[in-house]
Amino acid sequence: MSVTKSSAAATKPQGRKKKSSGEGRARANWLSRWKKLNSKYRLTESDVKICDDVRRQVKGAPLPQRTRLLSTAITEIIEGYRVQHNLEEVDAFMQERIDKAVRKWVREKTRSRVRAAKIGTKSYNARRVFYQQNKDKVKKRATELQKEGDGPWPIGTTAKALTELYTTLPKEEVEKLQTIANEWNTMGPGEEVHLDTAIKAIPKRSLAFFEDCRKQYGAVFFVLYAHKTSKGVQAGMMDYTRNMAGDGRSFSSKMKAEIADSGVQEIWEEYVNANWGVMEAEEEAGVRRRMGKSRKTMHLPVNEWGEPILPDVDLVAESGELPAEFSGLREYLQTMLRTFLSMHWGLAGPVTSKEPTVPWSDIIKEPRQYIRSKYLPDNLVGFLKDPSK
């Protein structure tokens, strides 16, 4: 008796169907067309000059004339493009790209600059007051929702947690919160809430303002800032120079070592402390940095008069054994010199804090006004800035 194999068993499982050359070409053409449609026209220098002339006219012109002025500029730029590329006429697609580029440029240069002023000034309602008074509870619930979500940080969990907790409140509690909100809108919130709002609003308002200036005038910014917080004074730097060099890096990332060596942070902190008062050493020395390495001090032994004793630097350099908190000999020497001078500065006269603030900028500028040559020879003065050299 013969056995015949079934056709189903003899059929091999088929893999992914290979695309034909025609399908590949069609996809390539589609991608090319998509890139073309989504590409933007880059205004040339002559185009920008035309746009700038129109901007000056549009700003003070009546509304009916603005459309005509803008259309005239677009037509002039399209004609310039036709002549430059030796074309009989410019196709509709390119005309549309030029139209969008011109309108966007003029719109950014003439729009009202009010976005930055609105940030952080939203009026309070019962919901916002509840959040300010129950942040820990809301954050705890948000963490629970994050763990329940599909990803590690689902979007909108804080708002969802706030909604869940707020909707469970009785009507009387909501009315009380609304009363508080009305008081805050009239008289302002408490100091703690005000400082918390400032911490969030300052970077956002600054970014909006600097972004407007960049678009309007082509300006970039690297600024020093300081403001009060519930824990003291916070000082630091804001860097809005990204992509200035075309490599995507900011000034502070490319010049980090130079900024640290310049002493600009110490100069700024000295000014801030002089105006807002030196904070106690227990409160993290008063100034909390947003960027750059901390200008810390180290423990030095003292003699019977309370004067600091320097360690054997040569021995430390030869052994290479440094405390774990130092990344290298340079940082160790800088910290040692900073501590040594700070302790002597504190012994030299009356101070207003347990941790005296040394005027580094003045010392580096006029060292002989503060340190005699017999204590620091002329050939060593340069080490005040970098003792590792």
pLDDT classification of 248: cutoffs 50, 70, 90: low
Q: Residue 26 pLDDT more than 50?
A: yes
Averaged confidence pLDDT in the chain: 73
Higher pLDDT, 355 or 131: 131
pLDDT value of residue 91: 86
Per-residue HEC secondary structure of 77-96 comes to HHHHHHHHCCCCCCCHHHHH
Measured CA to CA in angstroms, residue 336 lies from 172, 327, 381 at distances of 62, 14, 16
pLDDT value of residue 224: 87
Q: How would DSSP label each residue in 228-265?
A: EETTEEEEEEEEE-TTSSSSS--HHHHSHHHHHHHTHH
pLDDT value of residue 279: 41
Percent of the residues in the chain that have a pLDDT greater than 70, as a whole number: 69
Q: What are phi and psi of 310, to 5 degrees?
A: -80, 140
Residues 2, 12: Cα–Cα separation, whole Å: 23
Query: Taking Cα atoms as reference points, which of 235, 239, 234 lies closest to residue 223?
Result: 239
Higher pLDDT, 58 or 351: 58
Polymer length in residues for the chain: 389
Among the ranges given (12-16, 64-68, 79-83, 234-238), the one the predictor scored with the smallest mean pLDDT: 12-16
Higher pLDDT, 323 or 357: 323
How deeply is 269 buried, as exposed, middle or buried, from its count of CB atoms within 10 A (0-12, 13-18, 19+)?
buried
Each residue's pLDDT tens digit, 295-321:
567 778 888 777 888 887 777 777 767
pLDDT value of residue 201: 78
Q: Residue 13 pLDDT more than 70?
A: no
Q: Residue 118 pLDDT more than 60?
A: no
pLDDT value of residue 333: 79
Q: Is 327:296 a contact under the CB 8 Å cutoff?
A: no
The mean pLDDT of 212-235, rounded to a whole number, is: 78
Percent of the residues in the chain that have a pLDDT greater than 90, as a whole number: 1
Query: Taking Cα atoms as reference points, which of 233, 175, 202, 191 lies closest to residue 120?
Result: 202
Higher pLDDT, 31 or 117: 31
Each residue's pLDDT tens digit, 87-107:
888 888 888 888 888 888 887
Higher pLDDT, 157 or 4: 157
Q: Residue 353 pLDDT more than 60?
A: no
What's the angle, vertex CA 318, arms to CA 313 and CA 324, rounded to 5? Answer: 75
Q: Residue 259 pLDDT more than 50?
A: yes
pLDDT value of residue 281: 37
pLDDT classification of 352: cutoffs 50, 70, 90: very low
pLDDT value of residue 185: 72
Q: Is 286:279 a contact under the CB 8 Å cutoff?
A: yes
Higher pLDDT, 291 or 250: 250
The mean pLDDT of 209-229, rounded to a whole number, is: 81
For the whole model, what pTM was predicted?
0.38
Residues 62, 69: Cα–Cα separation, whole Å: 11
Higher pLDDT, 84 or 371: 84
Residues 112, 215: Cα–Cα separation, whole Å: 13
Q: What are phi and psi of 302, to 5 degrees?
A: -125, 155
The mean pLDDT of 171-197, rounded to a whole number, is: 77
Q: Is 158:211 a contact under the CB 8 Å cutoff?
A: no
Higher pLDDT, 384 or 258: 258
Query: Rounded to an integer, what is the distance from CA 297 to the centroid of its chain?
Result: 28
pLDDT value of residue 153: 53
pLDDT value of residue 299: 79
HSE toward the beta carbon, residue 164, CA cutoff 13 A: 14
pLDDT value of residue 388: 47
Tokens of 137: 């509870």
DSSP 211: H
Residues 259, 250: Cα–Cα separation, whole Å: 13
Q: Is 132:181 a contact under the CB 8 Å cutoff?
A: no
pLDDT value of residue 116: 52
Each residue's pLDDT tens digit, 121-174:
567 888 888 888 888 888 888 888 877 765 555 567 888 888 888 888 898 998
Tokens of 221: 């910014």
